[in-house]
């Protein structure tokens, strides 16, 4: 399965949702997650993310491994998003900032 990682937090560009053939992205207030039970590993979403936040589960950097469980947990809670929407007004300021997990809104 594919996993959305920390760099999506407060960026949430949503380009990824448009290409997913199985509509497995779920949207929270400032982050998106992939439902691991629906993802078919097509890889289409990976190059769409402007901040490279999406990884194959097996290729996750060591400090992003916790996002596998977080995607599974939050996909159950949050609604599906299938169409691109405007990113947060300050999204560009948050690109590649470290330690964004503390800003995750649930
Ligand atoms: Fe959707 Fe394919 Fe990305 Fe999985 S890898 S989330 S199926 S676009
Ligand atoms: Fe997040 Fe990248 Fe999608 S910032 S919403 S994973 S395009």
Q: For 23-54, how does the pLDDT look when each residue is reduced to its tens digit (9 = 90+)?
A: 999 999 999 999 999 999 999 999 999 999 99
Query: Would you call 80 helix, strand, or coil by DSSP?
Result: strand
Residue-number span of the structural domain to which 23 is assigned: 2-81
Index of the ligand 2 atom closest to the CA of residue 4: 6
Q: Are the C-beta atoms of 83 and 18 separated by less than 8 Å?
A: yes
CA of 39 to the centre of ligand 1 (A): 5
Asked whether residue 103 is assigned to any structural domain, the reply reads no
β-strands 32-34, 25-27 pairing: antiparallel
Tokens for 21?
């053939």
> pTM for the whole thing?
0.98
Q: Kindly indicate the confidence band of residue 61, based on its pLDDT and cuts at 50, 70 and 90.
A: very high
CB atoms within 10 A of CB 63: 12
The beta strands (E) that lie in the chain are given as 2-4, 25-27, 32-34, 54-56
Asked whether residue 86 is assigned to any structural domain, the reply reads no
**Residue among 27, 32, 48 whose CB has most ligand 2 atoms within 8 A, to mutate:** 32
Q: How many domains does the chain have?
A: 1
Is any ligand 2 atom within 6 A of the Cβ of residue 11? yes
CATH code, domain carrying 64:
3.30.70.20
92 dihedral zone (left: phi>0; alpha: psi -120 to 50; beta): alpha
Is any ligand 2 atom within 6 A of the Cβ of residue 67? no
pLDDT tens-digit readout, 93-102: 999 999 999 9
Tokens for 74?
């939050």
């Amino acid at each position: 399965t594919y996993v959305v990682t920390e760099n999506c937090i407060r960026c949430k560009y949503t380009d990824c949702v448009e290409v997913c053939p199985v509509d497995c992205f779920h949207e929270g207030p400032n982050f998106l997650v992939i439902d691991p039970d629906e993802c078919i590993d097509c890889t289409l979403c990976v190059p769409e993310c402007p901040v490279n936040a999406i990884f194959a589960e097996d290729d996750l950097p060591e400090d992003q491994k916790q996002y596998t469980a977080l995607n599974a947990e939050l996909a159950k809670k949050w609604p599906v998003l299938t169409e691109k929407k405007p990113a947060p007004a300050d999204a560009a300021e948050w690109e590649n900032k470290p330690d964004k997990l503390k800003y995750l809104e649930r």
